[in-house]
Amino acid sequence: MPQLDTATYLKNIDFKRKSIFVVHEKLERTLPRHTHTKSQLTYVEGGIAYIFIANKTYIIPARHYVWIPSGLEHYLNVRNAATVTHNLYFYTHDDHLNPFYQKLGIYPINSLLFEMLIFTENWIGTIEKKDPGYRFLAAIKDILPQLSTRSFPIALPTTSNMRLRPIVLYLSQNFAQPLTLENLADRFGMGARTLSRLFQSTMSISFLQYLKLLRTVKAIELIMFSDKTTTEIAYLTGYNSLAAFSKAFFQLTNIRPSDFGKKG
């Protein structure tokens, strides 16, 4: 199957609603914000992808997949050419049978699911019930609720607020610096209490929570795309000790940074 242009890709997802549409890609593709009637499973192999939904950016690390329910507006971004995505778009007539299928989730894969997803490379395009491979692909959907019980929790809020956007941009470029609410407020000419309320009112998160999330996302990127040691990454993301970094990372991901990405 030749490489699809974006318009054809999106059109083919819902071409036959009772089918399963399969696409495997290794490229830096950014689809526009869109919806489809099918549910979507995207597995990220060998890198990181990002999914943007409403006012949040979710990180999808290697060895994880995202489940996107039918009708949820989103777009997916893969920023590294070494990242491979396996995309399965499923019929939805049975989604009501389990609440798993009706909510967004990012989940780690185990060895069984990993082997099954890699095996899906045997098929590409629209797979109907009469076609070889349909039952195998349908079995993947059927077992997801049993295999996937804990969602990966890293979601970085975004904002269109004109007062907060330059502050968020500054944080994204200076996350390794010794940042405090007070010195950040001074830099942008406002009081600390005003800035604190701005974070809470526009993104429903405190400044410190946002900074911890941002540093965790940056740490995950460094783990996946650099050869830095865990200690080096701790200092590069603004922590003054490996212990403090490891504790913060584990609190958010339930994975120790030294173990993260080992199987990626």
Which domains does the chain show, CATH number per domain? 6-147 (2.60.120.280), 160-253 (1.10.10.60)
Higher-confidence residue: 28 or 219? 219
Q: How far apart are CA 171 and CA 164, in angstroms?
A: 11
Question: Taking CA 126 as the corner, what is the angle to CA 124 and CA 127, rounded to the nearest 5 degrees?
Answer: 90
- Average pLDDT for 222-242: 93
- For residue 264, name the pLDDT band (cuts at 50, 70, 90): very low
pLDDT of residue 25: 83
Q: Would you say residue 260 has pLDDT above 90?
A: no
- Average pLDDT for 78-105: 89
Q: 122: which DSSP letter?
A: G
Q: How far apart are CA 167 and CA 21, in angstroms?
A: 41
Q: How far apart are CA 213 and CA 167, in angstroms?
A: 15
Burial (CB < 10 A; 0-12, 13-18, 19+), residue 64, is: buried
Percentage, residues of the chain above pLDDT 90: 70
The continuous run of DSSP H or E covering 41 comes out as strand 39-45
Identify whether the C-beta of residue 4 lies closer than 8 Å to the C-beta of residue 23. yes
pLDDT of residue 82: 64
pLDDT of residue 107: 92
Q: Would you say residue 1 has pLDDT above 60?
A: no
Nearest to 154 by CA among 42, 81, 262, 255: 255
- Average pLDDT for 214-242: 93
Q: Would you say residue 189 has pLDDT above 60?
A: yes
Identify whether the C-beta of residue 235 lies closer than 8 Å to the C-beta of residue 241. no
pLDDT in tens, 11-56: 899 999 999 999 998 765 677 899 999 999 999 887 788 899 988 9
Please count the CA atoms within 13 angstroms of the CA of 54 that sit on its side-chain side: 7
Percentage, residues of the chain above pLDDT 70: 94
Here the contacts of 215-220 (C-beta below 8 Å, separation 24 or greater) are: 215/175, 215/239, 215/248, 216/154, 216/248, 216/249, 216/252, 216/253, 217/59, 217/154, 217/156, 218/175, 219/245, 219/249, 219/257, 220/48, 220/59, 220/61, 220/154, 220/253, 220/260, 220/261
Token digits of residue 131: 């076609």
